[in-house]
Structures are given as structure tokens and as C-alpha cells.
Structure 1
């Protein structure tokens, strides 16, 4: 019988990348004057290699601000992994969390750790010659998907319809659109027009991006019931657990949130209390795959719907390993960074059969790289 031979991390490369979007987009945070339009995505890539020749790729991201801070903190953390066994992912995650204790267990610290943690999971799956979903214990070979990138507020109703048609022609099942404008009437006009065009059978979701108070959320939620939405996303402040719970109890339409939470503890506050119907946490934002799985396992015990936010390239594998109803959010934004494309068919995103995440960086990433550093020695 072959016995396990301990490996060790010998080399890590970090990259800070600014990936431009084809068109700047706006949600309700922009129309309400709280943020500027989004024109690019900041990415932190971590590449890890070991003495036995195994490699892993992971990434985290930030929108508008925070990219340089993630990269700076990752530079502090990466040297702590040189010489460590890459298979001890839980222990290494704890080591990095404790190294970051002075700046907290969420935010920039968690997001810097996330890139490294994801690279370790990718490496472990590649070492086993398995897709990450299979390593985790897959329940599904494909996951229902919906498009969000075409539903932002700077787009007209006609543009949203056009993008929805393109998405469905590509095989995407559902459509999500942004709401939360100061004039509620405009939101309702847009939802009604899109529902009328798509018909009742197409899954339709709305995303408020935390822009309603409790009274507005209840009133708008009651009006929106007629449109048979899959869910209303982030109707309230991301940390208003009690408000979301009260809203979920009073509406037939499912309520979802989670993308702005930056730790498993915050997300479990929703899951353990049943405060939402749909948990929408985000692995890069909350510290990587390791804490994401803790929340997913708890949600699984409650039979909750899971719809991870953004980064389909990572979340497809995690959703495929979830027992109950789950969705993947389709964004084409990050596709230019990778050589591979995810296949979509009959409303579902297919889990790739390549080892690990099944991703490799495209050479064009070099042109978007703001800074990079290598730690340790290759080979």
C-alpha cells in the first residue's frame, strides 16, 4: 500500500491585476449617490507550487477600492506558508487568520487569505486529479444559472431585454435585474416590462443592493409578489439580520442576502436563525473556500436554497457540492483573465472535468498586472 509522503510549499507568486469592464455599470448604490459607477475589477491572484511539483491557482477580488490593500496584506502572509504542507488547509487557514488578528477577521484580511486558501484547494484537487467539486463530494454535474451582468440600472429596458435574449440563447436559465432607485415607480415599471416580455416561466430575480429601509422593503415586497420572483436580494442593510427575518416571514417571495458578509460568523447569523430563504455568501469575500464550506454545511442542514454571489469560476464547484437547490450567478466579466470557458447548456452551467478549478491564466493578464512578487524558489 502506498503511504502518504508529506509535501511542502516552496514558491508563491502574487499578482495585483486591474481587469477593465467593457462598459461601466451602475446599481442602486450609484443612483443613490453612495458609490461611483464600476468600470473595472481588482483581482488578487495567488499561484502556489510545492517540492513535489504540484501547483494551485486561486484568486480574490475587490470592487472600486481595496485591491492594493489585499495585495499588500497577501505579501505579508505568503512567506508564512513557505515550508508548510499544502494539504493542511484548515490549519494553514487558521495560521493566516491569527497572523491577521490585529486587522480583524473580515474585510481586506479575509479577502487576502481567500486567494491563498483557494489556491490550496485547487492544488489539493489537482494533486488528486479531480475537479474540485468531486474532491468536495459532488451532488450535481451541472447547476442552474442566471445572468446578472445585463440587468444593471444604467441599461434601458430595451437593453436589458436584449441582454436577456442573448443570455438565454447561450443557455442561461434566469435573469436578475437591479432595482432600488429613489423613484420606486421606475423600479416597478422595469420589473413589469421585463416580466411581460420574458413570460411567467422564465426565472426572474431582483437585487436591491441594500437600498431599502424596513417599511419600503415590506411595501415594495408586497407589490412585487405579483411577478412571481425567484427572490428579492439584499432588500435591507447586509447586517440587519432581524429585519431580513421579519421580511422573510411576511412575504411569499423568498428573501436572500449574504454577498457583503466577510466572515463565516456573519453568514451563520443568517443561516442558524433562518433569517433568509436564500443564502448568497461569497468565498473570496469571506476568506476563501474553507469558511464558505462551513456556512454551506450549516445551510444544508436547514435545507436552504444557496446562490453564491459572483465568481462563477469558483462557485460553480462549490454549488455542485451542495445537496439542495442551488444557483450560480453568470457574469462574463472575469472570462478574459482565463484560457478556459465554462459551458452552459439548457439553463445549467456544466461543471468542468478538468482537475481543480480547471483554470489557467491567459497571457493578456500580464497587460493588466499592476504589481507582482515571487516568494521562495521554484523547482
Structure 2
């Protein structure tokens, strides 16, 4: 059997063109986001096969992810790259004292994605086809043009530009202290785009239960695709009550960092749309476990962020999903995703279909290498 011979880890800091603000900033809980910390794992086997994996952190945690990945990497040298599930478990036990969620598994996620990328490349298949694709394109929606720091006039311009570019849905950030401003912005975008345009809103966990109740009721008239994270991410009972009461679907799950957390969310009936994030839950191996539970419960899927990875995972989900379009990560890769008629096309290149750009190398802050290049 082939064996993992060499691993290269990279900590890359991706600067954002403009500081990003959502409801968490306006409530004083977080500072505007100015950069994203990326963790890349590049694997090479004795037979010369390669795989690229990624994880990430926003605002904090990037150095910790890299440090933990550096501790775990030697565990993989000499291992059979085919044994992905076993290796995930081995890595998890290697860091068992720091837990099975959060930063601990996010470091594992970069290795896990790289192993799947390697396996798909070796089979000369796109990752979606390796997993068993249901479709060759996925409905997509744009978030990056709808943040709260964007003036209303520019918000309308951004929404129109996204639709003209071929992106299907538009997501708007809400959750401002003045709730009338939220309603005014959503009403303006609905009027500007028309009754049939898919629109979502995202409160980023900033409402309490009474406020969420009132806002969900007020948003019923706007024919939204979903209302995202109206409550704290851990308030599964509260989300379930909203999902049961209102016609507008409730979406949540992006902040959860384990299979067990998502299982609880599904068990409570707290999400009409489940929003797992593969890097946040520890990679593709746990993501597939979450997706299987969601399918069994009849829950719709809308993976969070990292469209370059999630377009493949969404394409392998039976019920028509949504993928979040963020162009923030594009400078890190030599390839681009294609969009047409409201849908994101699944790449036909083997694996993820990605290679790191010269810019990604230039933004690299730390590297670590293990094993010997074949």
C-alpha cells in the first residue's frame, strides 16, 4: 500500500479589503473582521500522489489551529492515506486532552480534507463524484455584499450586481439595535429585486427570544428563504420553537463544531436548513455524518462559507441545497468557480480542483514540514 511520506503545513493570513461588520459588532461583542487565518495541509505519498486540505479561523484561533496541527502531523507519516476514517479517529485521540470539538478538530479538518482530495485526485474524479454526486451544479447565494457596514444605497447596487453576475440568492445581515432599520433594509431590497428573488436574512445570534419572536413575525410578509441564527447557536429549544411557529424556515448550525452538537440540533427540530461548516466540525469525515443525520430527518442543507469545498459536499446531498458564495478566498487559489443562472458549477478537475496561488505563498506566516519528500 502507498504511504504518507511528507506533510507541509502553512499558516496563511488573508487580509480583507474592507473591515467586515455584522450584528455582533454593533452589539459590541466583537470587533470588525479584518483578516482570515487559513491553515493548509499539503500531503504527498511515497508513490507521488498529493492532496490539499484547508481549515480556517476568523478573528481569533488561527495560531492555535496551526500549533495543534503541527503537534498532530507526525502521527500521519507512514500511514495508508486510504484509511481516512481510521486516521481521523487516530488524530482525534492524539489530541484527546483538548476535546473533540472546536479548535482541536478544526486542526484535524485540514488533514481530513487533504486525504479526501488526495483520494479523489488519485481516482481522477472531482470530489463530488467520488462522494456520489446528485447534481453538477448547486444553487448559490451571496452574503459578502449585504453586511451591516454597507449603506442602503450600496446594498441595492451590490444585490443587483450579484444577480446580474448569475448568483441566485441574496443574504442580508440584520440584528441591529434599531430593529426598524433591519425591516427598512429588507423591504428596500425586496422591492428592488422583486417578489420572486430569493432573499435570506442573518441575525448572527443577536436576538433574545422575545425579539426573535417579534422579528420572525415581522419578516413573514417578505417571503424569505430563511431567517438565520435568530438566537444563540446553543439555544436549540428556542430555535425549535421558532421553526414550529413560523412559515419562514429557520437556518442555523454554522457555529457548531461537532457531530454531537448537530445531532442535538436535529433532534430538537431546531433547523429547517442545517448549516454545517466542514472545516469547523473537523473536515469531510464528520460533515458526512452530519449530512446523513440531516437527510434521515428530512432537513435541508446549506453549508456555511468555504464555497471551494462546500460546492462538492452540497452536490452530494440528496435534497437540493444552497451554497454560500464568498469570493474572499479566491486570491488563495489559481482556479475559480463558475456561476451561471443562479447556480455554482461543480468543478470537473480532480479532487477539490484547487492549487495554492503565489499570493497564498506570499501571505504565508509560518510553515512546518514533516517526513521526507519522495
In the superposition, the TM-score normalised over structure 1's length comes to: 0.98
Which residues of 2 match residues 1-379 of structure 1 at below 5 A?
6-379=1-374
Measured against aligned partners, the alpha-carbon deviations of 1:246-273 in whole angstroms (never above 9, x if no partner) come to 1100111000101100001101111233
| C-alpha distance in structure 2 between counterparts of 1:264 and 1:314, whole Å | 18
SS of the counterpart of 2:358? coil
CA-based RMSD: 0.7
SS in 2 for 1:232: strand
Using the TM superposition, name which of 266-275 and 86-95 deviates more.
266-275
Contact kept? 1:279, 1:304, Cα under 8 Å:
yes
Conserved? CA contact 1:271–1:295, under 8 Å: no
Runs of 4+ displaced beyond 6 Å: none
3-state DSSP of counterpart to 1:165: helix
Q: Deviations over 1:310-332 (max 9, x none)?
A: 00000000000000020000000
Q: Note if contact 1:264-1:286 (Cα within 8 Å) is conserved in structure 2.
A: yes
- Contact conserved, 1:123 with 1:356, CA < 8 A, in 2? yes
Larger mean CA deviation between 297-306 and 222-231 belongs to 297-306
Gaps of 5+ in 1: 1-5
How far apart, in 2, do the equivalents of 1:272 and 1:93 lie? 25
Please give the per-residue CA displacement for 1:35-82, whole angstroms capped at 9, x wherever unaligned: 000111110000000011100001000001100000000000000000
TM-score by length of 2: 0.99
Aligned length, in residue pairs: 374
Q: How far apart are the structure 1 equivalents of 2:260 and 2:148?
A: 32
CA distance in 2, matches of 1:366, 1:358: 18
Secondary structure at the counterpart of residue 75 of structure 1: helix
The answer for the alignment partner of 1:3 in structure 2 is none
Shift of 1:170: 1.4
Q: Residue deviations 1:219-243, cap 9 Å, x none?
A: 1100000000000000000011111
